[in-house]
Amino acid sequence: MIFLLFFIPIAAFISAVVMYRFNGKIEFLRMDFVQFTYAFVFSPLMFVWMKSFILLITKNYLGSGVDFNTLYIIDTVFSVFFLYLYAFVVIHALTKSFNLKVYKDPLFDLFDHTEYYHLWLSHLVMFVGVMLFVSVFSLTNAFSPLEVSLSDYAFYAICALGVVAGGGFFLGFWLSNPKQEKANFSRLIKLFFGFFFMIHVTAFYLLDVAFDPEYVIFWLGLLFFATTVIFSLFAYKSEKAQSIFERVAYGFKHTGWEFKKQLFKNKK
């Protein structure tokens, strides 16, 4: 363990220095590959290493006087500080990628490049990430029942919250859809709605999950995805439903919301 704590940062530093000479030569997701690696490989790796190092120091050198609450506060303060730092690391990696593009071609369409992240990639990762996050918790509950005691009213209220959350999530997706001509963001997200819903339905039948408070998180997730699927079907089949969604979404739109640059154009 001690060896790894010293080996990981040294190996990461050497790798980062060696990779730096390849700046501007390879791209991944329209981002310079070296900068992508710094932001999404080395930085998370260092986050895990630093948390492990703090845990080791706290437990071994501060003695048994450190209780769980103190350890939790130390870990939380560090994590929040690192998240702020990491936000600027990602900003730097992205803007450095822009800088390398413009260096190669001063007439490069930087606006088109930024809209790719704004309209497409960030929306895709955020929505799929939330669905994956919900699924991990709900499916874990399907395998491991909770030891909780809830009244019927509380249980039904939490289940209803899953429906409300699913409706709100669908509305957020409806608002965020970039409506690109070639790359159909809407169709892709709806496929993910159906995919995660089917996983939950399969888990329900295979594991014989009871409609009880012990599985409240599972039912929260199942109803969440069921709502997104039902709304998607109505939005696809019914023009009236589309009109309702548009009227509801209109209250959340800001000035210039409808301005969306077309990406993925047909190449002539």
Which pLDDT value is given to residue 96? 93
Are 122 and 49 in the same domain?
Answer: no
Query: Are both 146 and 40 inside the same structural domain?
Result: no
Using the Cα atoms of residue 161, residue 164, residue 170 and residue 171 in order, give the sign of their dihedral.
negative
pLDDT at 29: 87
pLDDT value at residue 129: 94
How far is CA 105 from each of CA 28, 66, 108, rounded to the nearest angstrom?
18, 56, 5
The answer on 55 and 117 residing in a single domain is no
Where do the H-state alpha helices sit in 25-121? Answer: 33-37, 43-61, 68-104, 110-115
Q: Clarify whether residues 232 and 139 are in a common domain.
A: yes
At 197 the pLDDT is: 96
Question: Taking every pair of C-alpha atoms in the chain, what is the biggest distance, in angstroms?
Answer: 70
> What is the tally of structural domains in the chain?
2
241 and 142 co-located in one domain:
yes
Determine, yes or no, domain membership for 260: no
Q: Is residue 255 part of a domain?
A: no
Residues 238 and 170 both lie in one domain: yes
* Angle (CA) 170 174 176, round 5°: 115
Containing domain of residue 41, as a range?
2-107
| Domain annotation covers residue 118 | yes
**Same domain for 177 and 133:** yes
- Identify whether 10 is part of a domain: yes
pLDDT mean by block of 10 residues, the chain; 268 residues: 70 83 86 93 91 82 71 90 95 93 89 86 92 95 88 90 93 83 81 95 92 92 95 80 74 66 62
Look at residues 55, 220, 224 and name the one whose alpha carbon lies nearest to residue 142: 220
Q: Are strands 31-32 and 27-28 parallel, antiparallel or unpaired?
A: antiparallel
Distance (Å, rounded) from C-alpha 135 to C-alpha 197? Answer: 9
Its pTM stands at 0.81
